[in-house]
Chain A
Amino acid sequence: KQEVTQIPAALSVPEGENLVLNCSFTDSAIYNLQWFRQDPGKGLTSLLLIQSSQREQTSGRLNASLDKSSGRSTLYIAASQPGDSATYLCAVEGNKLVFGAGTILRVKS
């Protein structure tokens, strides 16, 4: 059974800092990994999708890496801004999409 763990559970940083969110999964037989953002009371916004054959994806200030063999992914956020404050969810896709519990990020101005 696939299990996804996200560390840290919560993170508070001053504006401008670079930060790393971690995701680990127990079953490396995945098709892809997605990072999502969820604002309070809102739905999920897809940030980055990494296919199993890829090692990283970049979008603006976001960079996600995938090491399938070790069951790990990281989301790197450069020059964080208060608008980045949200919950970040990692999800891996095997025969279904399995989510981690998320990292609650707060960027202080």
Chain B
Amino acid sequence: NAGVMQNPRHLVRRRGQEARLRCSPMKGHSHVYWYRQLPEEGLKFMVYLQKENIIDESGMPKERFSAEFPKEGPSILRIQQVVRGDSAAYFCASSQMDTNTGELFFGEGSRLTVL
């Protein structure tokens, strides 16, 4: 049973380009969470999704960032017109149940570098 799979593991973009980060949850998990870890900082919640629905996006910047979790395929975190401050590790987690009872399992992360 494969764990949470994230790709790419490393992504380099120039300012103004788009970054797309993908996350395939563990088999049987329908809840996906995205977190961002800035250098020397803890993980910050960004967004919580279930299949085809955004449940909580209170941690998402209002502009340039969007997330989806379609009925088929992985969850996608999309960052448009990237800036240097977007450089961070982006982690995806999945759970089988909703947030108050389900243990979260994390992927290895996608490390974005903006030049």
Contact = CB atoms under 8 A, between A and B. Distances in A.
Interface residues of B, number: 24
Interface string B91-108: 101000001110111111
Interface string B74-102: 00000000000000000101000001110
B86 to A, nearest CB: 19
Contacts of A31: 99-101
A31 B102 CA distance: 10
A100 B33 contact: no
A46 B105 contact: yes
Given A46-B104, A96-B56, A97-B33, A102 B42 contact: yes
Bin the interface of chain A by size: 20 to 34
Contacts of B48: 96
Interface of B: 33, 35, 41-45, 48, 56, 58-59, 91, 93, 99-101, 103-109, 111
